[in-house]
Amino acid sequence: MCFWCDGRVDVRPYEGRWPPVRTSRSDHPDGAALDHLTSTDTARPRRLDRVRSGPSPAGVPAGHPDADGYGPLPGEPVQGRADTERRPAMTYDGSAAPAALLPLLRTSVERLHDSAAALTDDDVRAPSPLPDWTRAHVLTHIARSADSRTRLLIAARTGADLAQYDDEAQREREIEEGAGRSAAELTADLRTALNGFLTAAAEHPDAAWEVPVRWLGGGRRPVRGAVGSLLREVEVHHTDLGCGHRPADWPPFFVARELATTTAGLRERDDVPGMVLIADEDRVLRPVGDGRGPRVSGPAAALLGWLTGRADGRDLVLDPPGPLPDVPAWRS
């Protein structure tokens, strides 16, 4: 299963080896239980299953909803900046309707379709960067994730008692059953599922975004999380196809939100080595652990890729120089 789908991730840091190591499963505060695997940016990524000001991606306003459905996070605790240049902090406004994310999601979906359309039958049978999964598993997983969120939108709109999935076994079974198809069947299914969700989300009544629905794991949370969590699915698993879509290609809004979520989660843990994370885009000091370790700086996407196990950190700079800290199993 995968954090970017529905809940919390436990991921080991990049260890320079393959295969990745499956980490323990932990419970999401809202009830979703997920497990995840390790990854690298240049070899085998780990398997997994917020911006107030500054420029936004095309078609996306500066304020956006909290895609997780948990309500907006508190603002990043800013304890200073790495330099004296004033830059807008990478925070986000969770007050806008989830539909505000749809233009960005549509763009991400089209990029995924372009990559998927280029895959041959041999390509989809080949191992993905995820342990035990072929690219066909990844494509099937994205499609079924979209269908599961469409069910949640229908439940919120109609009052029907529809769960995202009946249980984890259903989810795993659907992926395995779909992974044996041809490239043409996989890509057609992917397009149908994603377009079905986009249509349902575009038609979803404004008043029904806060309706609680049954997410995987039995937790009842507002359906507003469906749009943003599918954006996670599309962007991260696009990377997991191993077709050249890297963290540097993730949309700036997506990176800003997920970096905020990730650093907030690290601050809640007592097994994180002290360090200060600094994204080039805003130069805000983001201490984790006791905050007394090195400063780790670089592009926000490179930081996020390293923290989530999808990059090896080679684009990051340490002050003072030295090896990157050993990031523990990641939770968000």
In three-state secondary structure terms, 163 is strand
Q: What is the pLDDT of residue 331?
A: 47
Name the more confident of 80 and 134.
134
DSSP string, 171-182: HHHHHHHHTTS-
Order of strands, sheet of 317-319, starting from the edge strand that comes earlier in the sequence: 285-288, 275-279, 295-298, 317-319
Give the integer Cα–Cα distance in Å for 234 and 145: 10
Amino acid identity of residue 259, one-letter, is L
* CA-closest candidate to residue 41, choices 325, 307, 288: 307
Cα–Cα distances (Å) from 249 to 111, 230, 252, 301, in that order, read: 10, 17, 9, 8
Residue 15 has pLDDT above 90, yes or no: no
Q: What is the pLDDT of residue 80?
A: 55
Segment 178-200 shows an average pLDDT of 98
Residue 6 has pLDDT above 90, yes or no: no
- With pLDDT > 90 as the criterion, what percentage of the chain qualifies? 57
Q: What is the pLDDT of residue 94?
A: 53
Phi-psi region of 178 (alpha: psi -120 to 50; beta: other; left: phi over 0): alpha
Least confident interval from 16-30, 175-189, 240-254, 260-274: 16-30
Q: What is the pLDDT of residue 187?
A: 98
Instruction: Tell me what the pLDDT averaged over the chain comes to.
Output: 77
Residue 200 has pLDDT above 90, yes or no: yes
The whole-model pTM stands at 0.73
Q: What is the pLDDT of residue 234?
A: 96
* 95-245 carries CATH number 1.20.120.450: yes
The tokens 């080039």 sit on which residue? 280
Give the pair of three-digit tokens for residue 111. Answer: 């990029």
- For 236, other C-beta atoms within 10 Å of its C-beta total 25
Segment 90-97 shows an average pLDDT of 59
Q: Do 286 and 274 meet the contact criterion of CB atoms below 8 Å apart?
A: no
Name the more confident of 63 and 174.
174
Q: Do 309 and 14 meet the contact criterion of CB atoms below 8 Å apart?
A: yes
Q: Do 194 and 233 meet the contact criterion of CB atoms below 8 Å apart?
A: no
Residue 216, CB-side half-sphere exposure with 13 Å CA sphere: 28
> Which runs of consecutive H residues, i.e. helices, occur in the chain?
3-6, 102-117, 121-125, 135-158, 168-178, 183-202, 225-240, 252-267, 300-307
Q: What is the pLDDT of residue 97?
A: 77
Q: Do 77 and 50 meet the contact criterion of CB atoms below 8 Å apart?
A: no
Q: What is the pLDDT of residues 35-79, one digit of tens each?
A: 222 233 333 343 343 222 233 333 333 333 333 332 333 333 334
- The alpha carbon of 114 is separated from its chain's Cα centroid by a whole number of angstroms, namely 20
Q: What is the pLDDT of residues 202-222, one digit of tens each?
A: 999 999 999 999 999 769 999
Q: Where are the domains of the chain?
A: 95-245
Q: Do 75 and 85 meet the contact criterion of CB atoms below 8 Å apart?
A: no
The band of 259, judged by pLDDT with boundaries at 50, 70 and 90, is very high
Give the integer Cα–Cα distance in Å for 38 and 187: 26
Residue 92 has pLDDT above 90, yes or no: no
Segment 229-245 shows an average pLDDT of 93
Q: What is the pLDDT of residue 96?
A: 64
Q: What is the pLDDT of residues 98-147, one digit of tens each?
A: 989 999 999 999 999 999 999 999 999 999 988 899 999 999 999 999 99
